[in-house]
Amino acid sequence: TVGLGNISGVAIAIYRGGPGVVFWIWITALIGMCIKFYSCSLAIMYRDADKQGKLQGGPMYYITQGMGSRAKPLAQFFCIAGLVGFLGVFTVNQLTQTFWNVVDPNVSIANWGEFNWKLIIGILLSIITSLVIFGGLKKIARVATAIVPFMVILYFVAVLFIMATNLEQILPSFKLIFEEAFNVKTAVEGGFWGLIMLGVRRAVFSNEAGLGSAPMFHGQSKTKEPVQEGLVAMLGPFIDTIIVCTLTAIVILLSGAYLEAQNDGILMTLIAFEKSLYGYGDILLMLIVSAFALSTLFTYSYYGVKCLSFLTNPKIGKWFNVYYIASITFAAIAPVAVVINLIDLAYALMCIPNMIAVLYLAPKVNKEMKLYFSKRIHG
């Protein structure tokens, strides 16, 4: 799940909360590992066949099966919130912003104005995504998805190179994070507690712990061991947030980019890469971001389809894709603040029913966990 949340999401957090927000992102990630364990274990414990007979898992299923039919409104509430939360609007917005900042088409191509260029990008992304989803051009999706692991490695190499060439700045950057994490006089809206909440929101955006998307994915696993699946799922928040987000944050801090960027997310990371990689880092980051964004756009509608299918039926559920495509153009031209607030609200609404279910059903996971480790220890 490494993606734009790890690159631009961290930049947005640092812009709004300063370096100290990174510490609270770490704390949330550690809690998120526990949430992922419980929720993904539940996804295997409570699976059900949909109206087409396909095995499905996720919050809507462990809510209705684990908590009983009376809890179905909770599952429906989750799915309704998911119809907004599972749109790819942040991905589109930041990809568009990346192209605008790096290519600067007003200068390099034609002076048509920022709004018009972003509208064109949004329409092109809508067409490409619709060709993949509706037109059956699965080869494009497979190529984009296949490129992602290579781009992840490339991102790691680039970040580690930047850190290696700025070794003297690494410890001061970590020191700055810890000093600012407990700054009760922080200028963040909401003060010290506002800083903590900002860290929580951006961490959830990075690793999706608590949202319910991971259980929907892990619920399709062929394993019959819930605890084993839960343990595997714990790696997600650790890799996404503890490792990747930290690397991004350190590059932003040691480069000084956090002192000069505006509030459009990805720009801060682009500045950090450009300053640290001899003027070409922003182009490299644009290529990496493009691969992440396209692979996400081609696949993310899957979750929304599952939500609408649960609310109605699989045949109607596929219509989510039409709404999903329409949201792409809107996301390209919308201000980043609007997109972030929309997704933050949807994520909060999704977390409420999911976390109620996870906490309610946690004792059953604990019981399953004791049996699992007992078998492992005693053979």
Domains of the chain by residue range: 4-378
- CA 248-251-252 angle, to 5 degrees, is 85
Domain covering 4-378: architecture = Up-down Bundle (1.20)
Mean pLDDT of the chain: 88
Instruction: Report, as an integer, the average pLDDT of 43-53.
Output: 81
- 56: part of which helix (H) or strand (E)? strand 55-56
Q: Is the pLDDT of residue 139 over 70?
A: no
How many helices (H) and strands (E) would you count in the chain? 20, 2
Confidence of residue 182 (pLDDT cuts 50, 70, 90): confident
- Residues 314, 51: contact at Cβ < 8 Å? yes
Most confident option among 11-25, 34-48, 134-148, 197-211: 34-48
Which residue from 163, 142, 150, 119 is spatially nearest to 329, judged by alpha carbons? 119
Burial class (CB in 10 A: 0-12, 13-18, 19+), 80: middle
Check residue 176 and give its pLDDT.
Answer: 94
What is d(CA 245, CA 257) in angstroms, rounded to the nearest whole number? 16
| Alpha helix (H) residue ranges in 226-335 | 226-233, 235-237, 246-255, 266-276, 281-299, 301-311, 314-317, 320-333
What is d(CA 188, CA 175) in angstroms, rounded to the nearest whole number? 19
**What does the block give as tokens for 270?**
């682009």
Check residue 136 and give its pLDDT.
Answer: 60
Q: Is the pLDDT of residue 263 over 60?
A: no
pLDDT (tens digit per residue) in 152-180: 899 999 999 999 999 999 999 999 999 98
Q: Is the pLDDT of residue 66 over 90?
A: yes
